[in-house]
Amino acid sequence: MNNEPEINNSAAHTSAPSSAPAPVTVIGLGLMGQALAAAFLRAGHPTTVWNRTAAKAGQLVADGAHLATTVDDALRASPLTVICLTDYDAVRELLGAAEPALDGQTLVNLTSGSSAQAREAARWAGKRGARYLDGAIMAVPPVIGTADAVILHSGPAADFAAHEPALAALGTVTHLGEDHGLAALYDVAGLAMMWSVLNAWLQGTALLRTAGVDAATYAPFARQIAAGVAEWLPGYAGQIDAGAFPAEVSALETDARAMAHMVEESEAAGVDAELPKLIQAMAARAIAAGHGAEQYPVLIEEFSRPRAV
């Protein structure tokens, strides 16, 4: 199985479908669900919506959506149903009450959850005759329907291809692979990147504030550093995939000395040193295991094993 993402940078405003826009149903009208339904409407798709609180559909109905009175009616209204609810338990509860309508339906579940929940939901849907794609939304509601909204999908490629023209109304659609859990895994991997970058920036900001430097002054410098580090990723990825970590730029034992300085500086400035100490501890374990002469990506071995609590 090839798990490389197949990126399709098509969006609703960049290409016209070869036939009339297909009917779509959206179940769940929180802020994100409303944005999804609105994007389908703007792209010309006949759109049916359902929400436990029907009042949330008011603007969408005014814009041309059809409000289904039951989940069963919502499912039967379209060959494609996009679901965006609070959690997978809510998805199972709603769909379980309308099982007969699932047969022959394609479900695209954009509810946030784990990879295990995604795989289980796919099995559950398949036993009831439904095709299933799991997904993750890497965007905020205001950008849905633009190329800046990245929507991840995982599951059978044929099912994705069959509904790609409709799904492209939501933004930049991406098929990751056949494994239904991939979208959820990419989602949490993205969150790990996001919070790690933000935490590193906050650590640096806290340090500089002790010298009277405000966050706005530091931010452009931090952005430049973050962009520079991002350029290292393809080369580091090559080392990880090859399982070889030659010190082409810097050895880990050299990096460890700078980590010690980061800890010392934080403590001397009266700034919380928990984050730099964590970074230092992971490097120390790798060095103790004999990897001090190798390059920083060798720490993948530390990240790849569970740590006893």
**Rounded Cα distance, 184 and 178, in Å:** 13
Amino acid 134: pLDDT: 98
Q: Which of 8-12, 36-40, 110-114, 262-266 is predicted with the least confidence, judged by mean pLDDT?
A: 8-12
What CA–CA distances, in Å, run from 88 to 24, 32, 84, 134?
21, 16, 10, 11
Amino acid 5: pLDDT: 45
What are the pLDDT digits (tens) for 46-57? 999 999 999 999
**Rounded Cα distance, 295 and 251, in Å:** 5
pLDDT > 70? residue 111 = yes
Provide the sign of the torsion angle of the four alpha carbons 183, 103, 43, 142, taken in this order: negative
Confidence at 9, pLDDT banded by 50, 70, 90: very low
Helices (H), the chain: 31-42, 58-62, 71-76, 88-96, 115-127, 157-167, 182-209, 215-230, 233-242, 252-269, 274-286, 300-303
State the average pLDDT for the chain: 93
Rounded percentage of the chain residues whose pLDDT exceeds 90:
92
**Side-chain half-sphere of 42: how many Cα atoms within 13 Å?**
17
What are the pLDDT digits (tens) for 280-308? 999 999 999 999 999 999 999 999 988 77
What are the pLDDT digits (tens) for 14-47? 333 457 999 999 999 999 999 999 999 999 999 9
Confidence at 168, pLDDT banded by 50, 70, 90: very high
Amino acid 17: pLDDT: 43
Q: Which of 27, 36, 87, 37 is nearest to 60 (CA)?
A: 37
Amino acid 19: pLDDT: 75
> Mean per-residue pLDDT for 216-239?
97
> Mean per-residue pLDDT for 215-226?
98
Interhelix angle 274-286/252-269, nearest 10 degrees: 160
pLDDT > 70? residue 205 = yes
Amino acid 211: pLDDT: 97
pLDDT > 60? residue 266 = yes
> Mean per-residue pLDDT for 110-126?
97
What are the pLDDT digits (tens) for 63-100? 999 999 999 999 999 999 999 999 999 999 999 999 99
Amino acid 306: pLDDT: 86
Confidence at 2, pLDDT banded by 50, 70, 90: very low
Structure pTM? 0.87
Amino acid 276: pLDDT: 97
Amino acid 309: pLDDT: 63
